Chain A
Amino acid sequence: MRKIKTFLYLLISFIFLSCPIKAKASSFALSADAIVLLSDGIDMLSYSGSVPFGYLGAIAFSQDANKSYQDVLEDYLGKANIFSLNGTTINARNLTNAEIEQLQDLVLYDEDGNILNLMDIYYAESDNGYFTEHIYCKNDGSPCYLDSAKTNPALDVKFGGSEMSYLEWQNTYNAINQQLEQGGYNYGLNGASVSDKSYFVFFAPYNGAWAYSLFVPNQYELGVTVPVTSGQNVVITEWYTNNPSSFFYCGPTDGNYNMGVQSGTWNKDGYTYHYKVTWPTNYNVSRFPGVNNTYDSFLNGNKYNDPNVFAKVGYQYISSRVGQDVLSFRKVANGENAMDLSKAHSYADIDGFITDVGSITPIPDATYIPNDAIDGVNYPIIFDVVDVIGVNPIPFPDSEPVDEEEPVIEYPLPDTVDPSLITDGIPIISGLQNKFPFSIPWDLYNLVNGLSVTRETPSIYQVVHIPIIEYDWVIDLDLSMYDDSAELFRSLFLILFIIGLAVFSYQHFFGS
């Protein structure tokens, strides 16, 4: 018997050693993945009206061809951090709106001209009375994400769950750039009031962050630089976070894009900060898969001032949440967000970005055009964002929502049992993991598993004001320089843990 036990021990030890290696390899497949938020999407939306800094969407770069958009996104969430001066958000209000709107990268300098390498991402915020503008920039060499994509055209570019080649993406980008250069652009909604409503198109929370698309009825008049009349629909896709310490990265800062530069100073909390703002003079805009004539749409669409041209939305892909006025605009003091985000948080999740097609309630004072171009193709709702411009408005058809019957799973049943009872019961039995006390093993697993979050380099920047002596105690702790050492330490710790587990196992099976 002892020989058999020894044999089993050795066999299982072999399995034990091989399993973690494989599992570990799969856990660390993420390498050069990146999320690029298309803040430039505002430029496209501006043709039909937009609010400041509404992100049109995001592109996920991954060298893993099998990784889905959502996988990249979820892996990336929480890895980047927003940090700001004085431990609070940077108020970039004293930048002009035009500067902020074009802002793609924000580099901060201290009084000695050195780059304030606070953390990975800088965050700036501005408020126009109705909307808070958010700017997220990264200053750690992150343009390499796009650089790497350029040098490797085969690199997958995944947008909203679909894919396209980088070259395809770039071609469209260039095409739309040309269009953008032909005219101005505009942000902001003039005339929005506290009674105005917006509508969720989709709402997808993730770890510590959430994304949503909003549909804003055509009740506003645009106009700061471009006199766009009301009568257009607006869809916003923005990324927010309910955890200010985590966010993810915005657009490219590639010098090849003819970066513009603006530098100056601003004062905040008694400090003078020197800033340098760079932005690409061209705008990087994505092409949207499934919409083959995006460029033409922009050419023919309502560019600036035709009140008879209405935007269109691919309504057949809009979730049933459209029509629910869930988010109100508030007129707030500077520095506050005009949108009632706290209320938005209370709404339930929608699974992923691809929302089901549900019945929709026509929004008053809005006209829709059925989107025949992508009819029948189940693209993520995010693609509808681009398809906001149309011509020759067609009234919204009075169609009844079609309820498709879900397939019913039939279980083999004994003859003498009422089938209705069994079909209701089996799912309950299979849900034992949610029923106390049978749920305890799963609870324990989830509890321990909850300790495993995305690791983050400890970094603290906090100014503690001591009023008695009028002294600001700056706590500036950044352990990023020890990243390599930490990796070594973790590896050694893991080896020690495995040795300890092996010793424990041996003593457990064979005694001390």
Chain B
Amino acid sequence: MTQVSDFGIKVILLTVVVSLLPSSPFANFNSLLTNIPYLSYLNWFLPISEILVVLESWLVVVSLYYSILFVINYVGIVKT
């Protein structure tokens, strides 16, 4: 019961701390970036959306790579 209470208190404290944090100051820039003139023209020359898809996938698999390595090292299957 004590552990549960501690957990609850931590949640409350964390909530308070998070609520004190400021909102993202960059959120408004996203819409500004979208409104850049001729951005659609740039997309005509460069496959930006496809590059983003590839990059996202790359990040996923690299994260997977390190995750597996971490697990392997952590459980001590292989000693480096």
| B15, B44, B48, B68, most chain A CB atoms within 10 A | B44
Q: Determine whether A450 belongs to the interface, using a CB cutoff of 8 Å to chain B.
A: yes
How far does the Cβ of A448 sit from chain B's closest Cβ, in whole Å?
Answer: 7
A257 CA / B23 CA spacing, docked (Å): 56
CB pair A453 B43 closer than 8 Å: yes
The answer to whether B50 touches A424 (Cβ under 8 A) is no
Q: Give the contacts of A277-303 with B (CB-CB under 8 A).
A: none
Q: Which A442-464 residues have C-beta < 8 A from chain B?
A: 442-443, 446-458
Query: A266 at the A/B interface (Cβ < 8 Å)?
Result: no
**Assuming the A-B contacts A19-B57, A422-B12, A450-B34, are A12 and B48 also in contact, with contact meaning beta carbons closer than 8 angstroms in the complex?**
no
Taking CB atoms, residues of chain B closer than 8 Å to A425 are 11-12, 14-16, 19
Chain A residues whose CB sits within 8 angstroms of the CB of B43 once the complex forms: 451-456
Most buried by A among B43, B47, B52, B69: B47
Q: Is the CB of B58 within 8 A of A451?
A: no
Q: Which of A12, A243, A414, A429 contacts B18 (CB 8 A)?
A: A429
- Check A453 against B39 for contact (C-beta < 8 Å): yes
B76 CB-CB contact with A under 8 Å: no
Taking the complex as formed, is A413 at the interface, i.e. its CB lies under 8 A from any CB of chain B?
yes
Q: Is the CB of A422 within 8 A of B11?
A: yes
B41 to chain A: closest residue by CB: A458
Cβ contacts A338-351/B at 8 Å (1 or 0 each):
00000000000000
B contact patch SS = helix
Once bound together, how far apart are the Cα atoms of A72 and B1, in whole Å? 54
Bound CA span A422–B18, Å: 13
A318 to B27, CA, bound (A): 32
B39 touches A426 (CB 8 A): no
List the B residue with the shortest CB-CB distance to A451.
B48
Q: In the docked arrangement, what's the CA distance between A19 and B52, Å?
A: 12
- Within 8 Å of chain B (Cβ to Cβ): is A270? no
A414–B8 touching, CB < 8 Å = yes
Docked pose: A16 CA to B29 CA in angstroms: 31
**Listed stretches A1-9, A40-48, A114-122, A380-388; interface member:** A1-9
Interfacial residues of chain B within 41-72, with CB under 8 A of chain A in the complex: 41-58, 60-62, 64-65, 68-69, 72
In contact, B21 and A436 (Cβ under 8 angstroms): yes
Segment among A159-167, A329-337, A484-492 that sits at the interface with chain B? A484-492
With an 8 A cutoff between CB atoms, is A231 at the interface? no
Q: Which partner residue on chain B sits nearest A482 by CB separation?
A: B44
The reply to whether B15 and A428 form a contact with Cβ atoms under 8 Å apart is yes
Inter-chain contact A493/B47, CB cutoff 8 Å: yes
Task: Decide: B27 and A453 in contact? CB cutoff 8 A.
Answer: no
The reply on A256 being an interface residue by CB < 8 A is no
On whether the beta carbons of B11 and A429 are closer than 8 Å, the reply is yes
CB pair A78 B40 closer than 8 Å: yes
List the one stretch of A51-59, A182-190, A497-505 in contact with chain B: A497-505
Measured between C-beta atoms, what is the minimum distance from B53 to chain A in Å? Answer: 5
A466 at the interface (CB under 8 A from B): no
**Given A415-B4, A447-B26, A435 and B18 contact (CB-CB distance below 8 Å):** yes
Q: Is A23's beta carbon under 8 Å from chain B?
A: yes
A5 contact from B49, B62, B69, Cβ within 8 A:
B69
Does A481 sit at the interface, judged by CB under 8 A? no
- Listed A/B pairs (25) with beta-carbon separation below 8 Å: A8-B68, A23-B57, A27-B49, A416-B4, A416-B5, A417-B8, A425-B12, A428-B19, A435-B21, A435-B24, A436-B22, A436-B23, A436-B24, A437-B21, A443-B27, A447-B29, A450-B34, A451-B39, A451-B43, A453-B34, A453-B39, A490-B50, A494-B50, A498-B54, A505-B58
Interface residues of A (CB under 8 A from B): 1, 4-5, 8-9, 12-13, 15-16, 19-20, 23-24, 27, 78, 207, 243, 413-417, 421-422, 424-426, 428-429, 431-432, 434-440, 442-443, 446-458, 479, 486, 489-491, 493-494, 497-498, 501, 505, 509
